[in-house]
């Protein structure tokens, strides 16, 4: 396993659309281990998407169970989602988001309150996951990375909703 270098905005790879994964092979599985190690290496990290380490594959990892808000709410613990597809979403919430690829800023972003996601797990089995609250935000944020969308693209008012970070937590 290895901690992979994080691509930082405005790296053009962050604006690319990632390709579907054909199957969870041994190679894909080893890459997922590296993604997990990379996420855990970052303080306060609740998720990571493959494009953030320069790999244009539709793989995201989310784990809000150690986060101060995420841990208070119902969550799935570690979620490895391969080829995630949001089947349905609803409600509204505004949450302050950060991103390992945008280390100097946080922003208030409007997201759905809940999502229903279809994905393969790390064993290649199909799973349908219903998620709400902070975990649902993390899933939406990471899934956006697979389509080259950053939270900066979803900020409604740069003046009111974008904040410069003093330190990364
Ligand atoms: Zn991000």
Residue 5 forms part of a structural domain: no
Instruction: Say how many Å lie between the CA of residue 36 and the centre of ligand 1.
Output: 14
Residue 2 forms part of a structural domain: no
Instruction: Say how many Å lie between the CA of residue 24 and the centre of ligand 1.
Output: 23
Please say if 142 is a catalytic residue.
yes
Give the integer Cα–Cα distance in Å for 77 and 166.
29
Residue 127 lies in domain: 12-164
Instruction: Say how many Å lie between the CA of residue 54 and the centre of ligand 1.
Output: 13
Give the integer Cα–Cα distance in Å for 134 and 116.
14
Give the integer Cα–Cα distance in Å for 8 and 130.
30
User: Which residue among 16, 97, 130, 142 is the active-site one?
Assistant: 142
Residue 7 forms part of a structural domain: no
Residues in the chain: 169
Residue 3 forms part of a structural domain: no
Residue 85 forms part of a structural domain: yes
CATH number of the domain encompassing residue 51: 3.90.45.10
Which tokens belong to 143? 């899934």
Instruction: Say how many Å lie between the CA of residue 127 and the centre of ligand 1.
Output: 23
Residue 36 forms part of a structural domain: yes
SS3 126: strand
Residue 101 forms part of a structural domain: yes
Residue 66 forms part of a structural domain: yes
Per-residue pLDDT of the chain (169 residues; tens, 9 = 90+): 899 999 999 999 999 999 999 999 999 999 999 999 999 998 888 999 999 999 999 999 999 999 999 999 999 999 999 999 999 999 999 999 999 999 999 999 999 999 999 999 999 999 999 999 999 999 999 999 999 999 999 998 989 999 998 765 5
List own/partner pairs for 93-99 with CB under 8 A and 24 or more apart: 93/133, 93/137, 95/134, 95/137, 96/163, 97/137, 97/141, 97/151, 98/44, 98/165, 98/168, 98/169, 99/141, 99/150, 99/151
| pLDDT value of residue 167 | 61
The dihedrals phi and psi of 72, each to the nearest 5 degrees, come to -80, -15
The count of structural domains within the chain is: 1
Give the integer Cα–Cα distance in Å for 7 and 49.
11
């Amino acid at each position: 396993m290895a901690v992979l270098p994080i691509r930082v905005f405005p790296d053009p790879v962050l604006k690319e659309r990632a390709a579907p994964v054909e199957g969870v092979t041994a190679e894909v599985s080893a890459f997922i281990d590296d993604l997990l190690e990379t996420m855990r290496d970052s303080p306060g990290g609740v998720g990571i998407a493959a494009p953030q380490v320069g790999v244009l594959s539709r793989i995201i990892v989310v784990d809000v169970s150690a986060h101060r808000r995420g841990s208070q709410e119902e969550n799935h613990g570690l979620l490895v989602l391969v080829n995630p597809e949001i089947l349905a979403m609803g409600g509204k919430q505004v949450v302050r988001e950060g991103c390992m690829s945008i280390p100097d800023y946080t922003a208030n972003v409007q997201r759905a309150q809940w999502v229903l996601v279809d994905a393969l797990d790390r064993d290649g089995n199909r799973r349908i996951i219903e998620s709400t609250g902070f975990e649902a935000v993390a899933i939406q944020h990471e899934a956006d990375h697979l389509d080259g969308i950053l939270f900066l693209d979803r900020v409604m008012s740069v003046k009111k909703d974008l904040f410069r970070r003093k330190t990364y937590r």
